[in-house]
Amino acid sequence: MGKSNRIRANRATAKAQSKALGVKKKRQGMPSWLMTLITLVITVAILLTVVLSLLSANGIFGKMRTPLATENYKINNNMLSYYFYTQYQAFQTDYSSYLSYFSLDTSKSLKDQTFGGDGTTTNYDTAFLGDFSGTWFDYFMDQTVEGAKSVLLFCEEADARSITLTDEEKQEIETAIDTMTTTATTYGYTLNAYLSATYGAGVKVSDVRKAMTYSALASKCMNTVMEELDTAITDDRVESKYSENKLDFNVVDYTYYTFRVDYDDVLTETLGADVSAADMSAEQKAQVLDAYQKAVKKAKDDAELLKAKATAEEFMASILDHVSQEAWDDAYGEQTVEDADKPTDEDLTAIKTALIADVLAEIAEGKEEADEAVTIEEGATSVTVYEKTVTANFAKVVNTVKEEVFSTVSSAKETSVMDAINYAEEDDFSEWAFADGRVAGEKTVIITGDGSGEGDVTNENGYSYVSSYYLRAPQYRNTEKTRDVAYMLFGSSDEAKAAIEKLLAKESLDLAGFEAIAAESSATGNTHVENYYAGQIGSDAFDEWLFADDTTVGKVSAEPIALDESTYAVLFYYGEGDEKWHVDVQNTILSEDYDAYCNAMAEKYPIQTKENTWKKIEA
């Protein structure tokens, strides 16, 4: 594990401020000629303000400003605004479940918000998105500008290669604009008003059409270049790249568990939730520190006990036993049990032991959900559960606790087993696991935070994470086969089912046949991916179907695959791909060749930039 921090994400709040405009009273005795002059100046200023506002609203300034240009192609501010808001909206969609963890407030100007927040609240900006310095406007605009530069370079390259858009490709752009028109009408807007509201003040259909055309042409040229570069990569080059950089491509398998101790949690458990670190007396600090040190020592002892297990099976069994014990304590501790319903301590211990054994047995069987510990007949006042007679009310508690324990232990089993994991730089575990000479069955304990160095345990770091690792397979070349998959997307399950019926009705199906049915259906999009590997699109349901043992070449998903609440995929496994290691190496070479090609284009087609111009875009 690398360095870890306990992050509490809270959205920062701020009060909106407004300025009031006042009008000074006219002084007594002001000459009439001065009054006339002042009136004239004020009138001209008002007229000028109105004209400027109209020009801005109509997109005149945006069209006049050219922040990016090459010899034959120019991107004006309105087009860049379209690209910017497209990027921003895509971000909001991609991170819709996590927006509350960022310092970003989508209701406020991006230019008034610093990436990372103002320092008063911890958020996930850097953890999710990497280091960045500037405002959120800068964050999105930097990416937009880099993307726009790429568009310009590939448009110039398209000209050099005589690549143009076909009538069909041009019609796709018009179809997209027609969709925007329909949306605008639905919400009572004119098209230009809708575009201005969606992509920035002054953006008009001509700007969007031109931006789309540039993007389509650049994309077509880029695909051509990528295909050429990919085809040029030989197997000998792949083998050579792998041999020289095995650490970058080899993987390991391991099982692990982390015992966590947080100073704040110990403080709360010791003194209660009403006492903060700042309010503690010297005596209380000593009391909490003593409890914290004991907790860290126990975590270390537990990790060493886990490390002592001889086999991978014993190692996992010990993890699950530990998790199930804690899960019972947590789940049962959250229940409200009346005195009249409480069993004896002896019976409670017996129920706990039997319930945990029951849960572990069900998980070993591969069950996805827990069975009830006991069925409670309507009107029953007492029930026998795990050979102990308890009240019906307590039996309900046992059922609830079992469900929660099952869920916690199942999750721990899944997250503790790591397969085909790549090397990570500056990661303590990676440095150990990928060291030369490692063999299966080796174990180690790695400590982060308090107790990781020499000396006494303090609360300086505020946490201690003690992880015990079991190396099931030392570094190896991942020979798992990737798969070639095609898929189409739908906005409803019923539409997806209709497409599946058409696909299954065909006596034989190939990629061309799949794409033909996709084209004539109501699919919102369709594509195919060669050498697809698990995790590539981030959907467990997608991967579970595609890599299931009974999914064979030529098979179509019998049911729609739900990617989210409003997107359903129909999958077609049309061919076996290359081995995973080979795909990784080839993709690395392709990326390097692509970067070199782009650098050559940047030299060949100089781009003129005006940063002060794109900073005028409102956001």
Residues 274 and 220 in one domain: no
What is the residue-averaged pLDDT of the chain? 87
Would you state the pLDDT for residue 332? 96
Q: Model confidence over 377-413: pLDDT tens digits?
A: 988 999 999 999 999 999 999 999 999 999 999 999 9
Buried b or exposed e, range 365-378, using 16+ CB within 10 angstroms: eeeeebeebbebee
Would you state the pLDDT for residue 164? 96
Would you state the pLDDT for residue 18? 24
- Number of helices followed by number of strands (H, E) in the chain: 21, 14
State the CATH number of the domain containing residue 540: 3.10.50
Question: What distance in Å separates the CA atoms of residue 543 and residue 349, rounded to the nearest whole number?
Answer: 42
Question: What distance in Å separates the CA atoms of residue 490 and residue 517, rounded to the nearest whole number?
Answer: 13
Give the model's confidence band at 53: pLDDT under 50 very low, under 70 low, under 90 confident, else very high: very low
Q: Model confidence over 143-152: pLDDT tens digits?
A: 989 999 999 9
User: Is residue 238 in some structural domain?
Assistant: no
Would you state the pLDDT for residue 611? 84
Percent of the chain with pLDDT over 90: 68
User: Is residue 437 in some structural domain?
Assistant: yes
Residues 104 and 187 in one domain: yes
Decide if 324 contacts 359 (C-beta within 8 A): yes
Sign for the CA dihedral angle at 364, 370, 376, 378 comes to: negative
| pLDDT over 50 (residue 10) | no
Which residues, other chains included, contact 302 with Cβ-Cβ below 8 Å and sequence gap of 6+? 259, 322, 466
Write the single-letter amino acid at 605.
Y
Residues 375 and 428 in one domain: yes
According to DSSP, the residues that pair with 444 across neighbouring strands are 469
Residue where one domain finishes, among candidates 411, 446, 476:
476
User: Is residue 9 in some structural domain?
Assistant: no
Residues 112 and 146 in one domain: yes
User: Is residue 339 in some structural domain?
Assistant: yes
Average pLDDT for 313-335: 96
Would you state the pLDDT for residue 321? 95
User: Is residue 411 in some structural domain?
Assistant: yes
Residues 470 and 493 in one domain: no
Q: Model confidence over 69-85: pLDDT tens digits?
A: 999 999 999 999 999 99
Q: Model confidence over 93-110: pLDDT tens digits?
A: 888 888 888 999 999 999
Which residues, other chains included, contact 503 with Cβ-Cβ below 8 Å and sequence gap of 6+? 509, 514, 517, 556, 570, 572
Residues 356 and 446 in one domain: yes
User: Is residue 531 in some structural domain?
Assistant: yes
Residues 472 and 491 in one domain: no
Pairs from 439-442 (Cβ < 8 Å, separation ≥ 24): 439/471, 439/474, 440/471, 440/472, 440/473, 440/474, 441/311, 441/312, 441/470, 441/471, 441/472, 442/471, 442/474
Q: Model confidence over 421-441: pLDDT tens digits?
A: 999 999 999 999 999 999 999
Range in 63-67, 161-165, 419-423 the model is least confident about? 63-67
Q: How many CB atoms lie within 10 A of CB 286?
A: 11
Maximal C-alpha separation, the chain: 105
Would you state the pLDDT for residue 248? 94
| pLDDT over 60 (residue 229) | yes
Question: What distance in Å separates the CA atoms of residue 586 and residue 151, rounded to the nearest whole number?
Answer: 25
Task: Look up the domain containing 38 and give its range.
Answer: 30-57
Decide if 3 contacts 453 (C-beta within 8 A): no
| pLDDT over 90 (residue 460) | no
| pLDDT over 80 (residue 38) | no
Q: What's 112's DSSP letter?
A: G
Residues 272 and 215 in one domain: no
Would you state the pLDDT for residue 308? 97
Residue where one domain finishes, among candidates 449, 476, 503:
476
Average pLDDT for 40-69: 50
Q: Hey, is 517 helix, strand or coil?
A: helix
Residues 369 and 451 in one domain: yes
User: Is residue 107 in some structural domain?
Assistant: yes
For 206-303, list the strands marked E by DSSP.
Answer: 251-262
User: Is residue 6 in some structural domain?
Assistant: no
Range in 31-35, 284-288, 578-582 the model is least confident about? 31-35
Q: Cα 395 vs. chain centroid, distance in angstroms?
A: 40
Residues 86 and 184 in one domain: yes
Residues 539 and 454 in one domain: no
Question: What distance in Å separates the CA atoms of residue 359 and residue 250, rounded to the nearest whole number?
Answer: 36
Domain total for the chain? 4
Q: What's 279's DSSP letter?
A: G
Question: What distance in Å separates the CA atoms of residue 157 and residue 524, rounded to the nearest whole number?
Answer: 30
| pLDDT over 80 (residue 570) | yes
Residues 442 and 562 in one domain: no
Query: Whole-angstrom distance between the N-terminal and C-terminal Cα of the chain?
Result: 39
Residue where one domain finishes, among candidates 450, 476, 502:
476
Give the model's confidence band at 139: pLDDT under 50 very low, under 70 low, under 90 confident, else very high: very high
Give the model's confidence band at 16: pLDDT under 50 very low, under 70 low, under 90 confident, else very high: very low
Question: What distance in Å separates the CA atoms of residue 455 and residue 460, rounded to the nearest whole number?
Answer: 12
